[in-house]
Amino acid sequence: MVSAVVFGYHNVGVRCLSVLLAHNIQVKLVVTHSDDEDENVWFDSVKELACLHGIPVISPQSPNSESLISQVRALQPDFIFSFYYRSILSVELLNTATLACYNMHGSLLPKYRGRAPVNWAIIHGETETGATLHEMVKKPDAGAIVGQMIVPILPNDTATDVFAKVLVAAELVLDRALPSMVNGTLEKTPMNLTKGSYFGGRKPADGKIDWKIMGAKQIHNLVRAVSLPYPGAFTHISKGKLVIWRTILMNDDKATPPVLEPCLWEQDGLLLAVACDGKVLRIISAELGGHELNAKGFLGLDFPLMLV
């Protein structure tokens, strides 16, 4: 029986581990992360799935300690898989696999290598992304591609919408690749990093809207990329912190900004904002000072509110 050690986290970790089990891969060990109490843990648990199937599961501080490398080496796995595991695996650890090591990444590699690929793709206005299965080498997200699937990003899709598509794509890519992987006939395409990009992680502060330089479409993309369950796109007004959860781009002939500078105003019961490029956003969902901002909430605001 073909064996594996799995490093996994998040929904992609859960679904890809499920695929391995469906293909009767002997998973000898699952390595995952302990949930961070400061993080909004909205996703499923790899640990719970491993325990359900009686698979040993551990959550070490580092995957590259000598003790863990020795533990994995003793298991002699045919494959090592990384499914949304958040730490880079060392070459020494990768070398413990007798056949190969593969990682599932949430973008169309070589584009959007690194962290938060779905969020970054939306921020940059991409119209498609996907899931990529590739060999693991010393350099992160750089090994040969063995499977890839494209999914669309629609104009009003949030990160949650897109991630749901990427999750299905990841499951399908792995499911289709496994038979060839096991029998040694998997086709590999070297990754051309010159055609790609690399992005780091994101912090809540990165959701701040800069009205001086961001056009309406840029703001709309940021809102979509960091909407719930992420911390949200935000700006500060006289009444407090305004977090914007959902927007749509308005047709110019349906809105009349009171001034030609970035501002917030109410028109026909709608909350609208004009960006520095003169384009208008309708704010569908927002909160002010931690409270949902609806039509009644407009009453205490002195419009127009200038935005910076």
User: Residue 37: its pLDDT value, please?
Assistant: 67
Q: Where in the chain is the domain with CATH 3.40.50.12230?
A: 3-199
pLDDT digits (tens, 9 = 90+) for 135-163: 999 999 999 999 999 999 999 999 999 99
The candidate with the shortest Cα–Cα distance to 60, out of 97, 29, 106, is 29
Place of tokens 């070297």: 190
User: Residue 290: its pLDDT value, please?
Assistant: 84
Cα angle vertex 163, ends 3, 46, to 5°? 35
Q: Where in the chain is the domain with CATH 3.10.25.10?
A: 204-306
SS3 label, residue 195: helix
pTM, two decimals, is 0.93
Structure tokens at 114: 């690194």
User: Residue 294: its pLDDT value, please?
Assistant: 65
User: Residue 297: its pLDDT value, please?
Assistant: 64
pLDDT under 70 in the chain at which residues? 37-39, 41, 294-300
Residue 273, CA distances (Å) to 15, 214, 260, 289 in order: 40, 12, 11, 18
pLDDT digits (tens, 9 = 90+) for 165-175: 999 999 999 99
User: Residue 34: its pLDDT value, please?
Assistant: 84
Report the C-alpha gap between 45 and 152 in whole angstroms: 27
User: Residue 255: its pLDDT value, please?
Assistant: 84
Q: Which CATH class is domain 3-199?
A: alpha beta
Q: Do 4 and 42 meet the contact criterion of CB atoms below 8 Å apart?
A: no
User: Residue 139: its pLDDT value, please?
Assistant: 92
Which of the four CATH numbers 3.20.20.70, 3.10.25.10, 3.30.465.10, 3.10.20.30 does domain 204-306 have?
3.10.25.10
User: Residue 251: its pLDDT value, please?
Assistant: 82
User: Residue 296: its pLDDT value, please?
Assistant: 59
